[in-house]
Structure 1
Amino acid sequence: MKEIVIILAEIVNQIHDILVDTFGLTMSDKELHFWVIGVIGMATFFVVYFFFKLLENMRWSTTIFSFIYTFTIMIVIVFTIELQQAITNRGNMEFADAVMGLWGFIVMFFIYAVIALIIYLFVKFYKNRRR
């Protein structure tokens, strides 16, 4: 995990150097963060907006949106825990731990989805049978 953070930091540093060398930008870190994060944020917004517009017409859209939002929060929580372990030296900071934590959520959500589907089908079958 520590190696991944170092690699990501190196990638960010390379991008910073490319921006400075290519465009001759002489911005402070705050100004650079303003523009880079602003552009990344807007690009992400448009991709997410398009994806969510496609999803909103689906039958289970609220469940899908809830899963996506919860999964996003779980990613933040998992990596926060891993970073906390690295800072405090309590536990090992490993990418595999983060992946297993997210798999735990996915498996438990899948179990929930199967149970909810069984209940839904049972209720639907029971209502159709009463008619």
Structure 2
Amino acid sequence: MVKLLKLTANFINDLHDAVLDFINVGGYSLNDKQLHFIFMAIVGMAIFAFTQVLFKWLSKYSITAISFIYTITVMVVIVFAIEIQQKLTNRGNMEFADIAYGLYGFIYVFSIYIFIRLLIHFIKKTYKNLKTKKYKRGKKGQTI
């Protein structure tokens, strides 16, 4: 886990330096705060545009899917924060497996929830269809 964080940090640092070099070649002089302002604005708007399109499409089918995406995103942040906190405070072991198992726990229980919802939906639909067929059969036998 520590190796993964170090690799990620090195990649981000190298990308940061490359962007600064590119901007300086263009004759612009930006400090670190200005670079973060611009970069995060671009990344944030790209993520917003993607999620806007995705969530509009998903809303036609299921709000549950949108809720799941939001929840899993928050869960990823939480499990990473817990592991980083463990590393910083030396209370527990910082391990990628802990992140994976934490997210697996949520997905497992969520799968049970979805199964129960689908089962209830199927039962309600079957009951409604049986009730409709019984009603139609009763109408055919009547004379006017």
TM > 0.5 between the two?
Answer: yes
Unaligned ranges ≥5, structure 2? 133-144
Query: CA 1:26/1:95 → structure 2, altered by over 3 Å: closer, same or farther?
Result: farther
Kindly provide the amino acid, as one letter, of the partner of residue 19 in structure 2.
L
Question: Cα–Cα, structure 1 residues 7 and 26, in superposed 2: closer, same or farther, change >3 Å?
Answer: farther
Q: Which is greater in Rg?
A: 2
Match of 1:5 in 2: 5
- Give CA-to-partner distance per residue, 1:69-105, whole Å, 9 cap, x none: 1111111111111111111111111111101110111
Structure 1 match to 2:102? 101
| C-alpha distance in 2 between matches for 1:22 and 1:65 | 38
**Count of aligned pairs:** 129
Q: Which moved more, 1:16-25 or 1:72-81?
A: 16-25
Can you give the 5+ residue segments of structure 1 that lack an aligned partner in the other structure?
A: none
Measured on the aligned residues, the alpha-carbon RMSD in Å equals 1.3
Structure 1 counterpart SS, 2:82: helix
What TM-score results when the alignment is normalised by the length of structure 1?
Answer: 0.91
> Quick one: distance in 2 between partners of 1:64 and 1:113?
10
What is the TM-score when the length of structure 2 is the normalising length? 0.84
Q: 2: CA distance between counterparts of 1:125 and 1:117?
A: 12
Moved over 4 A (4+): none
Q: Which residue of 2 aligns with 1:57?
A: 60
Q: Counterpart of 1:45?
A: 48
Identity %: 47
